[in-house]
Amino acid sequence: MLTRIDHIGIACFDLDRTVEFYRATYGFEVFHTEINEEQGVREAMLKINETPDGGASYLQLLEPVREDSTVAKWLAKNGEGVHHIAFGTADVDTDAADIRDKGVRVLYDEPRTGSMGSRITFLHPKDCHGVLTELVTARGREDSGDGGGH
């Protein structure tokens, strides 16, 4: 069962400049950074708040590190902005299967590794009213919010 908004992914051309905007404008601080080689992005997770279920909500800022990455292609077509929304779940495998059974295309046959060791998959935006949607299970604890995605 989906329990919360885990994060909103925002594609950007310059991660450091974008982080500084969110820090200076809203006071959000970086919780975690990493490079995801498989997906070709450098990312920063900015924690927005804690949630009553022991999780958290984040903004995930994504800068491509390769021109062939999905985020680089998306930026070339759309420019900077909201790239996807991610929902937290205690069990990405079960929820992805349930959603697939409802006729929504799940983009990965098996969940992949996302931010901070989380398990993730994506739902096709054409089946989700134009919104690329991610499902996230945090590493180590069921729906802890310490996951983050992409």
Residues carrying an active site annotation: 7, 43, 60, 84, 134
Of the chain, the end-to-end C-alpha distance in Å amounts to: 19
Task: Tell me how far apart the 2 most distant CA atoms of the chain are, in Å.
Answer: 44
Amino acid identity at 36: N
Task: Bin 63: left if φ > 0, else alpha if -120 < ψ < 50, else beta.
Answer: beta
DSSP secondary structure of 96-131: HHHHHHTTPPBS-SS-EE-GGG-EEEEE-GGGTTT-
